[in-house]
Amino acid sequence: MIRVVFICTGNICRSPTAEAVLRHKVREAGLEDQISVASGGMGNWHVGNGADERAVTAWRSRGYEHDHTARHVRRDWRDDYDLFVAADTGHLMEIRSLLPGVEAKLLRDWDPKGMGDLPDPYYDGREAFEDVLDIVERSCDRLLEDLRGRLDQAAS
């Protein structure tokens, strides 16, 4: 089992979007018993809240379903997840500081159109949420390929 967790600031926009997309892709691939997907936020101010409605509207418009409740990253997640996927460089640095030694990467490390930070759409309009979803979809396609390779390698 490979356990993936997406991390953003408050766990209401970017990370739940990535969680919804990758969960869907994992389900479509028939790999739910081999890959688990979760998300969390570096800040705790949205804990217990649902995802931002603009994010939910964007992902539902493309057929993704996800019932989300925001969570805060904790030190004991070190043993709960195998791969920490950060929305931006700041989150990546925080994860590496809070949980030294875990495997942590940027989501856009898998983006075929370029690396860097996943933009935060929170202060922008609906179009920004669609743009983020575009990046998340293509990054998760490549991430799923990577995860399949890891599963194949572990099986041999």
Active site residues: 8, 14, 120
Helix (H/G/I), strand (E/B), else coil: 106: strand
State the amino acid at position 153 in one-letter form: Q
Closest CA to 107 of 11, 12, 22, 2: 22
User: Cβ contacts of residue 78 below 8 Å, gap of 6+?
Assistant: 99, 101, 102
Spatial distance between the Cα atoms of 69 and 11, rounded to a whole number of angstroms: 8
17, two tokens: 């979007």
> Taking the chain, what is the end-to-end CA distance rounded to the nearest angstrom?
15
